[in-house]
Structure 1
């Protein structure tokens, strides 16, 4: 009988993990996020044996493997390592919730506290990895997510977790009332009534605030900006077309975008495959790839401004030959036929992709490299300063914050990059190369993978938190515009990409649209992740209490054993 209980508990935990996975993009069964953890919490309501922490770890590990299977072809070892770490997150959830439940604290309060604290921990992992938070499952519900401009995404996660906790408490209370048939008294009614009232107040406050912001936020129309989306799948063996063909297609789409009237046009990350610094280009032959891209882009951009992703390399002389010294992943500017000196070098590098955590330890570096595709080393150098581009579009000055690849998944970093020197940017421009994450059908046709949709969902929260328009120029998609209310804009002023934003995966095209300006600076943009930090500190206190209690009990047991002797 005891073994059956263990199996039921394990099944409950894994059921919760499955529902959680389906709540996120691209499946978008968002309603499952509100009930996914109910069976998990119920499994904690009784002692299920010493294997329960391992069951929680395995559930978290499996959830992450399934949700991020797009990473397997890029860095297999990283995929496994990240999943193992996320499994630990579930183990910490197990111990914290079990401790609080044993102390008589309702799941209605315990679960949101623990979730907010654990997501804060994940936000600091490897310098910031905000991925698949509970909040991200709700990116389509505008009234709910407006609270993020105060609390960040953590506030939305808190609300969803609170509902899960409340439902678990409702089941446990109902079971107790049926089984024990206690006498109903004023104290009991007040206790359970307070539980109901707490949930109603929190949900009502969040939705009322959301409605207020949607109805009253002052938004104005800004200048026309153009976005080009190539469709160039990438693998460890290289891109699927020649660089000449890729450049020709980029030129054609850009020319169409320019005809729409866009004075500023963006290309995705690394779409220029050669370092774009004059010092290096001058050393190259006239028929070389760097010279070819440099010359043709200069000619292309004589009448407008192009922001494009490109490598950047400083040079050194070693062994009587010219070699790269520092290599960066950068955003460069071509303006009226000139390559400007102003550029942005990516600061937040992708762990296991652009740098190896603890890579200075020899055996760790060797292990990761052993499982990388063909042993390729993609590590680059980290940029050292935030940059913003002050440019003109539609005869108006516009302040643009460039963001490369996963940098816009880091809420704190994004907040800082948008508000340097006390001046708020007009546009957050994310350029990314998601060609690594496409899926290939049996006939070789590429289609968007899970990563494309998950990234876009996370970007919604950066727009809301900072009340700014976010435009994405992404190789293989999903290129789109997200307004300061977090609304993913379907359609555009002009373009040839699919009308619906989420249908733009693995297609080539362009669009241009007027950005939406919001001059108000949000509470989150001033104070960052204050909400998350509170619950991170609470979580630290909880684990300190767990350790102290364990040590205290161990000491008392030892004292009793000595007394018996």
Structure 2
């Protein structure tokens, strides 16, 4: 009997991994997300080795979907998958524990607990804000508009609600027609008429409410292309070339990006944007200090571009500061005005652990081989709001910059918006991951930052996907050539779209919805614990 249970649950675990994996980009068969968790919930309903199969489901899912991390670090790929699987493990245990002692259906537990663990996983340096189930729906505009209230978590909540309802219906019919089955029934399974009504009405009502909100929101807040003209440059420099570039290769990289930028000459361009770390020289120090030719050439390129295009420049590069006789290195966005004069810079605040720095480096120095840079970078300390002179007689625009994976930190983008940023620019270098699905997944995450804060976001990516995203989440332009949109080079010029509306509820109040789900989860768990103690 136990052997039979083991193989059945193993099949159900594989089924969830398969369905959930294919629902994410790419291939982004998004409707699969609405049923992907059902097999796993059935495992939890049986109570047979819930922890084991929950961890196995998480491990297989993350190991399979993080394969693009292999391009950077094979050891890091396995280690991250092993760690992230713990979130699935504890999710399964909490659901099983609450169901066992309170006998509630999945519908009343799973959505709250799922959002709780996604929220916990969203914290920088604690989790990995990637592969949230709501990300699968980034192309469905009416559905995702609710994110300006609930954040991305509202879409995850809805998807898990539907999965939970389907699992409860299966449980109900198994309990009714196969009384000898190993499914542990909830209190609704024994109240058949009520079970059917509640299980069908709740998800249908939520879907109707959210879609209605989305349709009216899209109709009532049209975004118009009345913003500044931005030109993003995509040079498609292979990471293997860039990270090990010698003097001549650095010159070629600089020349390539300069030549592409000069293609904007004669166009109406307010600002030209280069991706993350694409300037091979150091722009914030006197070239005589390091006595490197590439630093002089990099500064000359700024002057050449501004003279030819009369555009502001936002360039991704590396900054060096000397503090207390020590050199600190920063992942930086440098801003220059139309005359080529340096204005200000933004240093990346949230660095990638074991990618850009080693946490607790004093004690974990043996992990130094995981960091692709020769030194650990330092994190920035403040958000910088840049002012863009459009030269159109209207007020100047303000914008913020997020570098690389900072667009996964929802709270950072929200704070930029509250600081007064009219739009955001993301500069990134996803060439680390070649033409893998990581590029599509990264873009999907950024769509939700736009909707949450009702702000346009423009992305400049070294190898793709350079794009323009409207405040409603529409990807209204992206760089492509002959149906290819990864690992190509070129420039992409378009206008920023503005929405005539005040800050969104999410911008003003943050993750209230997610925190509410955490509170409900805590109450459910404590109630189950209390019942167990006094049973």
Q: Please indicate, yes or no, whether the TM-score normalized by the shorter chain is above 0.5.
A: yes
Runs of 5+ unmatched residues, structure 1: 319-323, 439-447, 557-565
Which residue of the partner structure matches residue 432 of structure 1? 428
Q: Distance in 1 between matches of 2:460 and 2:255?
A: 18
Which residue of the partner structure matches residue 498 of structure 1? 481
Q: Tell me, what secondary structure is at the counterpart of 1:413?
A: helix
Relative distance call for 1:185 and 1:293 in structure 2 (3 A) is: closer
Which residue of the partner structure matches residue 183 of structure 2? none
Superposition deviation, residue 22 in structure 1 = 1.1
Please point out which of 183, 202, 206 is paired with 1:202.
206
Q: Distance in 2 between matches of 1:230 and 1:489?
A: 21
What is the 5 A alignment of 1:380-459?
Answer: 380-395=377-392, 396=394, 397-420=396-419, 423=420, 425-438=421-434, 448-459=435-446
Q: Which moved more, 1:31-40 or 1:218-227?
A: 218-227
Kept in 2: contact 1:76–1:371 (CA 8 A): no
Superposition deviation, residue 195 in structure 1 = 2.5
Superposition deviation, residue 542 in structure 1 = 4.3
The superposition leaves residues 383-425 of structure 1 with CA deviations (integer Å, 9 ceiling, x where unpaired) of 01101110112524211111111111111111011211xx3x2
Kept in 1: contact 2:47–2:96 (CA 8 A): no
Kept in 1: contact 2:447–2:469 (CA 8 A): yes
Q: Distance in 2 between matches of 1:346 and 1:283?
A: 24
Which residue of the partner structure matches residue 444 of structure 1? none
Q: Tell me, what secondary structure is at the counterpart of 2:461?
A: strand
Relative distance call for 1:239 and 1:152 in structure 2 (3 A) is: farther
Which residue of the partner structure matches residue 65 of structure 2? 67
Superposition deviation, residue 187 in structure 1 = 6.1
Q: Tell me, what secondary structure is at the counterpart of 1:55?
A: helix
Q: Distance in 1 between matches of 2:192 and 2:522?
A: 32
Which residue of the partner structure matches residue 190 of structure 1? 194
Superposition deviation, residue 253 in structure 1 = 1.2
Equivalent residue pairs, number: 520
Kept in 2: contact 1:226–1:264 (CA 8 A): yes
Q: Tell me, what secondary structure is at the counterpart of 1:338?
A: coil
Which residue of the partner structure matches residue 559 of structure 1? none
Please point out which of 303, 319, 326 is paired with 1:298.
303
Superposition deviation, residue 505 in structure 1 = 1.0
Q: Tell me, what secondary structure is at the counterpart of 1:489?
A: strand
Q: Tell me, what secondary structure is at the counterpart of 2:331?
A: strand
The superposition leaves residues 421-468 of structure 1 with CA deviations (integer Å, 9 ceiling, x where unpaired) of xx3x22110001111110xxxxxxxxx112111100101000100111
Kept in 2: contact 1:477–1:505 (CA 8 A): yes
Q: Tell me, what secondary structure is at the counterpart of 1:330?
A: strand
Q: Distance in 2 between matches of 1:525 and 1:473?
A: 24
Which residue of the partner structure matches residue 222 of structure 1? 227
Which residue of the partner structure matches residue 471 of structure 2? 484
Kept in 2: contact 1:146–1:210 (CA 8 A): yes
Kept in 1: contact 2:282–2:298 (CA 8 A): no
Which residue of the partner structure matches residue 512 of structure 2? 530
Q: Tell me, what secondary structure is at the counterpart of 1:312?
A: strand
Q: Distance in 2 between matches of 1:341 and 1:127?
A: 34
Q: Tell me, what secondary structure is at the counterpart of 1:61?
A: helix
- Scaled by the length of structure 1, the TM-score of the pair is 0.86
Q: Distance in 2 between matches of 1:82 and 1:185?
A: 39
Q: Which moved more, 1:115-124 or 1:13-22?
A: 13-22
Superposition deviation, residue 356 in structure 1 = 2.2
Superposition deviation, residue 295 in structure 1 = 1.5
Q: Distance in 2 between matches of 1:523 and 1:434?
A: 32
Q: Tell me, what secondary structure is at the counterpart of 2:382?
A: coil
What is the 5 A alignment of 1:357-368?
Answer: 357-360=359-362, 362=363, 364-366=364-366, 368=367
Superposition deviation, residue 78 in structure 1 = 2.7
Kept in 1: contact 2:306–2:338 (CA 8 A): yes
Kept in 2: contact 1:257–1:511 (CA 8 A): no
- Scaled by the length of structure 2, the TM-score of the pair is 0.91
Relative distance call for 1:127 and 1:328 in structure 2 (3 A) is: farther
Kept in 1: contact 2:109–2:521 (CA 8 A): no
Relative distance call for 1:186 and 1:354 in structure 2 (3 A) is: closer
Q: Distance in 2 between matches of 1:125 and 1:541?
A: 26
Superposition deviation, residue 204 in structure 1 = 0.4
Q: Tell me, what secondary structure is at the counterpart of 1:259?
A: coil
Q: Tell me, what secondary structure is at the counterpart of 2:122?
A: helix
Which residue of the partner structure matches residue 162 of structure 1? 161
The superposition leaves residues 289-340 of structure 1 with CA deviations (integer Å, 9 ceiling, x where unpaired) of 111111222222122211010111113696xxxxx52211111012234342
Kept in 2: contact 1:226–1:511 (CA 8 A): yes
Q: Alpha carbon RMSD of aligned pairs, Å?
A: 2.6
Relative distance call for 1:20 and 1:358 in structure 2 (3 A) is: farther
What is the 5 A alignment of 1:242-261?
Answer: 242-261=249-268
Which residue of the partner structure matches residue 475 of structure 1? 462
Which residue of the partner structure matches residue 445 of structure 1? none
Superposition deviation, residue 497 in structure 1 = 4.0
The superposition leaves residues 78-125 of structure 1 with CA deviations (integer Å, 9 ceiling, x where unpaired) of 322221121101111111111232222111221111111110110125
Kept in 2: contact 1:128–1:410 (CA 8 A): no
Superposition deviation, residue 128 in structure 1 = 6.6
Superposition deviation, residue 544 in structure 1 = 4.7
Relative distance call for 1:227 and 1:104 in structure 2 (3 A) is: same
Superposition deviation, residue 17 in structure 1 = 1.5
